Amino acid sequence: MTMKFEDYQQYLSPVFVKSSHLVAGEGHGLYITDVNGVEYLDMIQGIAVNVAGHTNEKIVKAIQDQAGKLIHASFNHVNYPTTLELAKRLAAVAPGEGEKKLTSLFFSNGGAEANDSAIKLARCATGRPLIIACQGSFHGRTVGTTAITGSNSHYREAYEPLMGGVYFTPFPQRILCPDSIANEDLEGRADYCLWMLNNLLKFLAPAQEVAAIIMEPIQGEGGYVAPHPKFLKGVREICDKHGILLIFDEIQSGFGRTGKMWASQHYDVVPDIMTTGKAIAGGLPMSCCWSTPAIMEKWNKGTHGTTFGGNPVCAAAGLAVLDLLEEENLIENSRVQGEYLQAQLKEMQKRHPVIADIRGIALMTAAEFCKPGTFEPDAAALQFISKYLREEEHMLTTGCGVNGNGFRFIMPLNIKKEEVDLCLEKFEKAVAAYEAQC
């Protein structure tokens, strides 16, 4: 049966903006096939969810086996072997050592929900009201997480007043820092942002009233921005000095995408609370808020919960994801292919002046488009290139960046070198087509 999105569009709220009208019938590995049999190379992968591509057979089998036994009875009332086992195995790979290891877990269903949990936990555990978030951040679209999201004022439009008690501080990315800090001076940006954070505590947000500082260790939607280590280390020191909890949102950067299990491991900085989602359950909706047993102990019992959180089928898929990461060495592959991708992109940058920057770590890599010879954002380039790739090259892609001019290379972690080459070839064709019509 041929199915057209347009025939059904009227039944869907227009608030949910879609980048294509493609009706996806099947997905296998790197590819999605629409209901008309047209195949697309999928460089969105469910927005950085599918670590092993679409319908990986081990994940499918784990889901099928568990679905045949028990789908839902609510973790509020019973325990599931899969969820208990997942908690134990995740705790084993949690960041931190000894008492600072984040081995106590609260499962929920999506990224924003995990961040809401983190805010509630931080407030409850510290008895303090204020939260500091970063400009350029993306933490979700619930009322709570919209309040701590600073990647685009559009997300807040029409929703004020949001959750109160939130202050923002700049994240060390170029457009959030003064022009006087040179583009390559990552350390200079880190110094500036630490100075701004200290000023915030001095002039506006009393440190003894701040429950937590929340940030993505590598900003995702904000543009795949990896800060200088000095920034995250400096934030950790400020938190320690004032008894503020540090929350790392690893919803996009976690589970090996940056070539280490957690992005925070690149910086040797351990948060007090971490949130994960996306890749955690192989494409099924699951997320998690992690902390130390001592902090979790301070969360007033029964004041937070969820009907579906910790679902046994999602947990079975989560166990399969952990198996795949280990057995197929996916984290190392992410590092190797990510480094190759970045090296090739940096060469390509020399051939195409519209590519102003290549950044990120491993398979969390983005290209930024600017007007040639400047850092003036070129959002039209992203729009043209994405459309060209979808229509001419049958490749699905998505953007990032606070100015809508970043291009994310979201590949499954089991991508092969030949597949990286294919993505690069298609990308360069689209970039050249854009430059030719400028």
CB nearer to ligand PLP: pick between 354 and 363: 363
Residue 115 or 264 with smaller CB distance to ligand PLP = 115
Pick from 110, 217, 254, 271 the residue near ligand PLP by CB under 6 A: 110
Q: Which is nearer to ligand PLP, 96 or 285 (CB)?
A: 285
Of the two residues 111 and 234, which places its CB atom closer to ligand PLP in the complex? 111
Cα torsion 380, 383, 388, 389: sign: positive
Report in angstroms how near the CB of residue 108 gets to ligand PLP at its nearest: 10
Stretch that binds ligand PLP, among 55-63, 108-116, 261-269, 302-310 (CB under 6 A): 108-116
Q: CA-to-CA distance for 254 and 251, rounded, in angstroms? A: 6
Instruction: Using the minimum distance from each CB to ligand PLP, give the nearer residue, 277 or 312.
Output: 277
Pairing mode, strands 24-28 and 31-34: antiparallel
Q: Which residue lies nearer to ligand PLP by CB, 140 or 318?
A: 140
Closest CB to ligand PLP belongs to which residue?
111
Q: How far is the CB of 112 from ligand PLP (least distance, A)?
A: 3
Residue ranges in 187-246 that form contacts with ligand PLP under rule CB under 6 A: 216, 220-221
Tell me how far, at minimum, the Cβ of 43 lies from ligand PLP, in Å.
Answer: 16
116 binds ligand PLP (CB under 6 A): no
408 vs 426, which CB is nearer to ligand PLP? 408
Closer residue to ligand PLP (CB): 94 or 112: 112
Name the residue type at position 403: N
CA distance 182 to 185: 5
Binding residues among 119-178 for ligand PLP as defined by CB under 6 A: 138-140
d(Cα 434, Cα 132) in Å, to the nearest integer? 40
- Shortest Å distance, C-beta 261 to ligand PLP: 16
Which range binds ligand PLP by CB under 6 A, 187-195, 248-256, 306-314, 423-431?
248-256
Mask of contacts with ligand PLP, 42-81, x by CB under 6 A?
A: -----x----------------------------------
User: Applying CB under 6 A, which of residues 34, 191, 249, 272 lies at the interface with ligand PLP?
Assistant: 249
Nearer to ligand PLP, 48 or 59 (CB): 48
Angle at CA 92, nearest 5°, toward 86 and 95?
115
Q: Is 112 in the site for ligand PLP (CB under 6 A)?
A: yes
23 binds ligand PLP (CB under 6 A): no
Q: How far apart are CA 216 and CA 360, in angstroms?
A: 13
The binding site for ligand PLP (CB under 6 A) comprises: 47, 110-112, 115, 138-140, 216, 220-221, 249, 251-252, 277
